[in-house]
Amino acid sequence: MSSIVINNNCSEAAVSLDFGVQTNGQTTATIILNGGTPTTLPINVQLGIANFVINPNTIGSNLHGVIQIQSEINGFVAEAATVGSCQIDCCIAKLLESAINCTCHCDKCKEELDIAEKIFLLLQSSKYAAEAGNNYDDAVAKYNKANELCIETCACGC
């Protein structure tokens, strides 16, 4: 099973592409980040598996947003997708911290919790669409909406 595992600060991702057959050779992986311009990376496939690492130096961009990786060798295709959520996770944490520390006696505290919840649910839905639903466009749309809410709410700057 193919996978992308992003580290806690979204600076690096370990990728494992499983082609489903025992094949060997050199090929390229196509990496698309949040619907942007594809980047290609040479990879080595051994016994049907390609293990490699991506980071901003290898793909020319931060690992924020929906990441989709596809590759083909000898007619066999492997693909994986996930969401780099560090910026949005930081935004949610700031909203929750603000709500917890809120001392006003109005609806402001609840509003921050409601916004944090909406952002969290959009992010989880984006991750599901990318990883399990194989719906890259839907994942990007939900990630972008969550990110937009973060920027509108607190301009987090994480």
Torsion of CA 130, 134, 138, 143, to 10 degrees: 0
Q: How confident is the model at residue 155 (pLDDT cuts 50, 70, 90)?
A: low
- CA 117 to chain centroid, in Å, comes to 19
Helices and strands: H and E segment counts in the chain:
4, 7
| Cα torsion through 114, 116, 122, 127, rounded to 10 | -150
User: Residue 62 — very low, low, confident or very high, per pLDDT cuts 50/70/90?
Assistant: confident
The predicted-structure confidence for 120-150, as pLDDT tens digits, reads as follows: 999 999 999 999 877 899 999 999 999 999 8
What sign has the CA pseudo-torsion 100, 111, 150, 156?
A: negative
Average pLDDT of span 56-76: 91
CB 136 within 8 A of CB 31: no
pTM to 2 decimals? 0.85
Instruction: Give 16-46 pLDDT, tens digit per residue.
Output: 999 999 999 999 999 999 888 999 999 999 9
pLDDT of 48? 94
pLDDT value at position 58? 87
Strand-pairing partners, residue 27, are 43
| Distance, CA of 79 to CA of 147 (rounded, Å) | 25
Reported as a single tens digit per residue, the pLDDT across 67-116 is 999 999 999 999 999 999 998 999 899 888 888 887 777 776 788 888 99
Q: Is 82 in a helix, a strand, or coil?
A: strand
